[in-house]
Homo-oligomer: A and B are copies of this chain.
Amino acid sequence: MPRFQEKRELSINKLVEVALRLFASKGYEATSIRNIAGEAGMSLGLLYNYFKSKDELLEEIFRRSVEDIHASFVQSPEQGGSGIEQHIRQTVKLLKEKQDFWKLLHGIRIQSEVVRQLMTEMQEQTAYIEDRIRQNLIEAGIPFPDLEAKLLFASIDGMSSHFLLYDHYPIDDVASLLIMKYKK
C-alpha cells in the first residue's frame, strides 16, 4: 500500500520538475499541459489525477520553491563577513541553484493576472527580504537604511536578472563589487 504513495510522489515530483523547467524556458502560457505530461513521460490524464489544473501545478511549484528558498535563507550557515555580505552571497548561491524558478518568477511577476494570489504571497516574502536587508544596513551603521535597503534590494534584483538573461555573466565579480561598496 505504501507503494501507491511512492509512485504518487515519484510522478508528482517528476511533473513539478519538468513543469518548472518548461515554464522557465518557454513561459507559463506558452507551455502546454500536453507538453509537460509528454516530457515527464506520462499521459495527460495522469497529470490531472494529481493536479486539478495547470494553475494548481504552478502553485505547487511556487509552494515548493518558496519553501526551499525560505529554509535556505533561515538556516544560512554562519560564514565570515558582514550581514550584508552574507546576504548577497547567499542570494547568489540560491540564484545559481534555482535558476529555473527565478526565470519563471521574473517572467510572470509583472503580468500577474493568472496568479494574482501567488503574487500577493510573494510580496510578503519580498517585504521580509527587504526588511532583512534593512536590518543588516542598520547593523553596519549605514545612514538612510530605508532608502538604502530599497536600493540594495534593487541592485541585487537587477544583477540577478542580468545573470539569468545573459550568458557568462560574471555574477560573482559583480557581487563582490557590490559587497565592497557596503564595507566601511
Q: Which residues of A contact B (CB under 8 A)?
A: 24-27, 29-30, 103, 106-111, 113-114, 144, 147-148, 150-151, 153-162, 164-165, 169-170, 173-174, 177-178, 181
Whole-angstrom CA separation of A169 from B151 in the bound complex: 11
Partner of A181, one of B30, B107, B173, B181: B181
What is the minimal beta-carbon distance from A59 to any residue of chain B, in angstroms?
17
The count of identical subunits is 4
* Interface contacts beyond A147-B173, A151-B159, A155-B155: sample of 7 additional A-B pairs, CB < 8 Å, sorted by A: A24-B111, A25-B113, A27-B113, A106-B110, A154-B174, A155-B158, A158-B159
Main secondary structure of the interface of A (DSSP, over half): helix
| 15 A–B pairs (Cβ distance < 8 Å), ordered by A | A30-B111, A106-B110, A107-B108, A109-B165, A110-B164, A147-B177, A150-B174, A151-B155, A151-B177, A154-B155, A154-B159, A154-B174, A155-B159, A158-B160, A158-B161
- Closest B residue by C-beta to A173: B147
What is the minimal beta-carbon distance from A31 to any residue of chain B, in angstroms?
9
A177-B161 contact given A27-B113, A103-B111, A111-B26, CB 8 Å threshold: no
Are B177 and A144 within 8 A (Cβ)?
Answer: yes
Residues of B within 8 A of A30 (CB): 29, 111, 113-114
Residues of B within 8 A of A160 (CB): 158
A174-B155 contact given A29-B27, A161-B161, CB 8 Å threshold: no
